[in-house]
Amino acid sequence: MTATAERTPVRVLVAIPAYDEAPTIEAVVRSVRGAVPHFDLIVVNDGSRDATGAALARAGVTTATHLCNLGYGRALQTAIRFARRTGYDALITFDADGQHRASDLVPLYDAFRAGDYDLLIGSRFVERRDYRTEPAVRRVGMHLFSVLIAVLTGKRVYDTSSGMKVIGRRVFETLVARPFVDFHAEAIVYLIESGYRVGEFPIAVAAREHGASMYTPLSVFKYPLKVAFLIVVGALEARRTRRARA
């Protein structure tokens, strides 16, 4: 379990939250194992109703099964709790829908170690710095969250909803202690405001071929309000915690 970037042995866990991803999960597990055989892998089966559980059993991968669907954020939290309890140095989150490229894992992790980050986001937009390729509604949301984070923290983050991130051990405790709903913009703003080192690294994503996005038509209205509220609460809470620590 030695990372390619460093001589020091480190334990890295790749975590894949999966909800109804039976058509893709085996291929995703295979691709991750092929790309980073020296990293450990866990799939959090978030109460899937399809054959995801059977596919995971066939793949012989370490699995944490939620008895009911708790949502993306809670699934990631389960993985972070597991990583913390079993002594991992870093955790890489990876989507189960086949959109992420396993070949990005090593460069992303190498950049994480080189930059001594606490959170490194695999970013679809940090190179181009615009959202032209995204659908209009999502474009507006991404721009809004990015600007809101910049206003509150002074740091611009271009991809606030990427599912591919490297999370360092230093922030495990922080990330399981707070009730993060989706580990995207709210967690990013909280960590920046708490004084942790957050960055972005360019990655590419493929178009989704199977399954449905977790964003429903109703969530187009609900999600931005919820996240904007959480960003503000997160920033306030981080400042308060920082003041208390000082």
Partner 1 sequence: MHSATVVIVDAVGMLLIAWLVQLVRRDRLYVGYAVIFVLVIGAGMALLTVPGALAPLEWIATVVQRAPALVGLALAFVVLMLIYILSQVTLLSNRLTMLTQELAIREAMSSRQVHDDSTR
Binding site for partner 1 (CB under 8 A): 42, 44, 60, 62-68, 70, 74, 77-78, 81-82, 85-86, 178-179, 181, 222, 225-226, 229-230, 233, 236-237
The DSSP code for 14 is E
CB neighbours of residue 16 within 10 Å: 27
Strands in 62-66's sheet, in edge-to-edge order, are 62-66, 40-46, 12-18, 90-93, 165-168, 119-123, 198-202
* Nearest to partner 1 of 81, 101 (CB atom): 81
> Residue 235: in which H helix or E strand, if any?
helix 219-245
Neighbours of 134 (CB within 10 A): 15
Residue 159 beta carbon to partner 1: minimum distance, rounded to whole angstroms? 22
Q: How far is the CB of 107 from partner 1 (least distance, A)?
A: 27
Closer of 77 and 174 to partner 1 (Cβ) = 77
Give, to the nearest 10 degrees, the angle between helix 136-153 and helix 185-193. 10
Nearer residue to partner 1 within complex by CB, 169 or 178: 178
CA 143 to chain CA centroid, Å, is 19
Query: Using CA atoms, how far apart are residues 194 and 184, in angstroms rounded to an integer?
Result: 15
Closest CB 220 distance from partner 1, rounded Å: 14
Question: Least distance (Å) from partner 1 to the CB of residue 182?
Answer: 10
Q: Between residues 59 and 106, which has the closer beta carbon with respect to partner 1?
A: 59
State the nearest-atom distance from the C-beta of 135 to partner 1, in Å.
23
In this structure, the chain runs to a length of 246
Comparison of 225 and 244: residue with beta carbon closer to partner 1: 225
Residue 44 C-beta: closest distance to partner 1, Å: 7
Return the residue matching tokens 């992420």. 100
Give Cα 38 distance to the centre of its chain: 20
* Cα angle, residue 74 at apex, residues 186 and 41 outer, rounded to 5°: 110
If you ran DSSP here, which 8-state letter would residue 42 be given? E
Minimum gap (Å) between residue 2 Cβ and partner 1: 17
Closer to partner 1 by Cβ: residue 60 or 154: 60
Q: Which is nearer to partner 1, 82 or 215 (CB)?
A: 82
- Strand, coil or helix: what is 119? strand
